[in-house]
Amino acid sequence: MTDIIRYEHVDISYNGQLVVNDISFTLQAGEILGIVGESGSGKSTLLKAALGMLGRDGLVTRGDIYYRGLDLPDINERERQKISGAEIGMIFQQAGNSFCPIRTVGTQIKEMMAAHGYDNARLVEQETCEMFTKFGFTEPKRIWQSYPFELSGGMQQRVGVAAAMLLKPKILLADEPTSALDVTVQKQVIEEMLLARELFGTAIILVTHNIGVIRAMADTMLVLHQGKMQEYGPAKDILANPQSAYTQKLLAAVPKLRRSAAGYGQAVASCAS
């Protein structure tokens, strides 16, 4: 099977200081890769590198990130704008921060879609409301007409996932998409991302510190510590039989809570970071 994205021996530095060292992994179509590790381990940095979001002080100093034959750190801004959103989508920890508070959700979605050549406003509204319905929103028209501040944080996050999928990207980069949410909304966001894979075959790179989310979603798993790879392989194997001392310590920190029919929070018990 052909890789949809491939990191080869990637080093990333900020202000000349190495923060990610020699990271390699691949992602297949429809695969979900979970990246875990404590705060500052380089998880989010790996995602930002793919979309050129490292800022002025960040730089991929060694290695390659290949997407469909393109080496992403080397492409120009025009090529990156063409890919970003349309082929590689991004969900941030707090999607609400991505919305302008004084303009409606619908207005902002129309502008996003127009930037990618979808300038039929009526059709965009129709397709957006259909997407909202697929993702379980019972009042899609109300969401379309709402200002972001009129939506809860959890609702904003769910809208962010649905909006990211309007362009049907091949890959979704999800940076701590559930960490700021209560347990019930975490479950809804996880279900939305799994539905995106089911409907569109979307591959997902999921950054999280929550081992329960990894158990619920990930096919493969990458463990980072201080910018270095500790383990990489099938998630079920690493969770059942971790090899590195760091991974063993990380998993040992997860509360050992029993599952129950109503207790989704037990399935997403947060790993101490």
Global pTM reads: 0.87
> Domain 3-267's class?
alpha beta
Is the confidence at residue 232, as pLDDT, over 90?
yes
What are the pLDDT digits (tens) for 57-107? 999 999 999 998 899 999 998 899 889 888 999 888 777 677 888 999 999
Helices (H), the chain: 43-50, 77-83, 105-115, 121-134, 140-145, 153-164, 183-200, 211-217, 235-240, 245-252, 264-267
pLDDT band at 262 (very low <50, low <70, confident <90, very high): very low
Please give the pLDDT value at position 264.
Answer: 44
Q: Decide: 54 and 33 in contact? Cβ < 8 Å.
A: no
What percent of the chain has a predicted confidence (pLDDT) above 70? 92
* Helix, strand counts (H, E) of the chain: 11, 10
What percent of the chain has a predicted confidence (pLDDT) above 90? 59
Q: Decide: 34 and 27 in contact? Cβ < 8 Å.
A: no
Please give the pLDDT value at position 272.
Answer: 36
Closest-CA residue to 32 (of 151, 206, 227, 233): 206
